[in-house]
């Protein structure tokens, strides 16, 4: 296996900070699932973009007479949730499809469900929480219409992103269950330690069931998921 140099996030070469992950959907993800992984990646970018626009909306909120605390929280959410959402739910999904890892699928389901709940709260937009959701926007129309219109853009984007996240969660769960995935399989990966080496995880399972045939060396990326695709995405 040739050495893979980390390429994400793409950073200028003059910076001392180097990329933390290697990402190549065409090379590592099986062809039937590349479109889904790309769309989940696009969804992550949409969510990060929504958080960025939310910062601008909170500035308009502040300029129209709202509290400065909303701007501070919005900036914190952007700096915190953009990288955390990539590492906590996109990367587990990427690794799950890359090597048919039930453990990573379970990690994705758990973290992405929490992400959906968080996005729903951001869509509601409780005043003072740093998100220009529906509640904060509608209430501010009586104070400053111009600022409220800017805030409305964030409310609409949060709504779209939350709806897409719910669809992705349902889609991936159906795909995983349709391929025979289960919690017991994820527990088996955890107990045997196979989750630590995702590219060779399927080879490890084969070695347990075919001990009499002797060990074999897995060739990456031979271990790929075989989940059926029975519906259009």
Please write the tens of the pLDDT for every residue from 145-198: 999 999 999 999 999 999 999 999 999 998 888 766 656 666 666 555 555 555
What is the reported pLDDT for 102? 85
Q: How confident is the model at residue 6 (pLDDT cuts 50, 70, 90)?
A: confident
Over the stretch 129-147, which tens digit does the pLDDT of each residue have? 999 999 999 999 999 999 9
Q: Are 50 and 158 in contact (CB under 8 A)?
A: yes
Higher pLDDT, 232 or 8: 8
45 pLDDT more than 50: yes
| Residue 142 domain-assigned (yes or no) | yes
221 pLDDT more than 50: no
Q: Rounded to whole angstroms, how far apart are CA atoms 18 and 40?
A: 24
State the first-to-last Cα distance of the chain, in angstroms, to the nearest integer.
33
**Under DSSP, is residue 94 helix (H, G, I), strand (E, B) or coil?**
helix
What is the reported pLDDT for 201? 39
87 pLDDT more than 60: yes
pLDDT, averaged across the chain: 82
- What is the total count of domains within the chain? 1
| Residue 31 domain-assigned (yes or no) | no
| Residue 223 domain-assigned (yes or no) | no
103 pLDDT more than 80: yes
What residues contact 156, with CB distance under 8 A and at least 6 apart?
none
- The two tokens of residue 140 are 């501010």
Q: Are 171 and 220 in contact (CB under 8 A)?
A: no
| Residue 221 domain-assigned (yes or no) | no
Q: Rounded to whole angstroms, how far apart are CA atoms 102 and 191?
A: 12
| Residue 98 domain-assigned (yes or no) | yes
What is the reported pLDDT for 12? 82
Share of the chain above pLDDT 90, in %: 58
| Residue 55 domain-assigned (yes or no) | yes
- The two tokens of residue 175 are 């795909």
What is the reported pLDDT for 59? 96
| Residue 22 domain-assigned (yes or no) | no
| Residue 57 domain-assigned (yes or no) | yes
Q: How many helices (H) and strands (E) does the chain have?
A: 9, 0
What is the reported pLDDT for 200? 40
Q: Which residues span the domain enclosing 161?
A: 39-179
């Amino acid at each position: 296996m040739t050495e893979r140099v980390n390429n994400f996030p793409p950073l200028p070469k003059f910076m001392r900070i180097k990329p933390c992950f290697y990402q190549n959907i065409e090379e590592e993800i099986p062809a039937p699932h590349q479109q889904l992984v790309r769309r989940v990646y696009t969804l992550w970018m949409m969510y990060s973009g929504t958080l960025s626009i939310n910062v601008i909306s909170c500035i308009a909120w502040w300029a129209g007479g709202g509290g400065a605390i909303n701007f501070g929280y919005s900036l914190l959410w952007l700096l915190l949730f953009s990288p955390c959402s990539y590492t906590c739910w996109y990367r587990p999904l990427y690794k799950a499809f890359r090597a048919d890892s039930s453990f990573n699928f379970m990690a994705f389901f758990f973290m992405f469900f929490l992400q959906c709940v968080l996005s729903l709260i951001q869509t509601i937009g409780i005043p003072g929480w740093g998100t220009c959701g529906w509640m904060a926007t509608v209430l501010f129309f009586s104070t400053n219409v111009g600022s409220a219109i800017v805030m409305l853009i964030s409310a609409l984007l949060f709504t779209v992103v939350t709806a897409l996240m719910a669809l992705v969660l349902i889609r991936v769960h159906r795909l995983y269950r349709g391929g025979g995935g289960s919690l017991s399989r994820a527990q088996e990966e955890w107990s045997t330690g196979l989750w630590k080496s995702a590219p060779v995880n399927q080879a490890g399972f084969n070695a347990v069931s075919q001990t009499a045939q002797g060990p074999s060396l897995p060739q990456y990326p031979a271990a790929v998921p075989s989940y059926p695709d029975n519906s259009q995405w």
